[in-house]
Chain A
Amino acid sequence: RKEVEQDPGPFNVPEGATVAFNCTYSNSASQSFFWYRQDCRKEPKLLMSVYSSGNEDGRFTAQLNRASQYISLLIRDSKLSDSATYLCVVMRGGSYIPTFGRGTSLIVHP
Chain B
Amino acid sequence: GAGVSQSPSNKVTEKGKDVELRCDPISGHTALYWYRQSLGQGLEFLIYFQGNSAPDKSGLPSDRFSAERTGGSVSTLTIQRTQQEDSAVYLCASSRGAGNQETQYFGPGTRLLVL
Q: A residues touching B (Cβ–Cβ < 8 Å)?
A: 4, 31-32, 42-46, 49, 87, 91, 93, 95-103
Contact = CB atoms under 8 A, between A and B. Distances in A.
Interface residues of B, number: 23
Contact of B43 (A44, A46, A49): A44
Nearest to A43: B106
Interface stretch (B14-22, B65-73, B77-85, B96-104): B96-104
B41 A96 contact: no
B42 A97 contact: no
* Residues of B contacting A: mostly: loop
A99 B91 CA distance: 14
B42 A96 contact: no
B43 A97 contact: no
Interface of B: 31, 35, 40-43, 45, 48, 50, 56, 58-59, 91, 98-101, 103-104, 106-109
Given A44-B91, A97-B48, 10 more contacts: A31-B100, A32-B101, A43-B107, A44-B43, A44-B106, A49-B101, A49-B103, A87-B43, A97-B45, A101-B42
Given A42-B108, A43-B107, A45-B106, A93 B100 contact: yes
A82 B37 CA distance: 22
Contacts of A102: 40-42
Kindly name the residue among A91, A95, A100 whose own CB sees the greatest number of chain B CB atoms within 10 A: A100
21 contacts: A31-B100, A43-B109, A44-B43, A44-B91, A45-B106, A46-B103, A46-B104, A49-B103, A87-B42, A96-B98, A96-B99, A96-B100, A97-B58, A97-B59, A98-B45, A99-B45, A100-B42, A100-B43, A102-B41, A102-B42, A103-B42
B108 A95 contact: no
A66 to B, nearest CB: 16
A49 B99 CA distance: 13
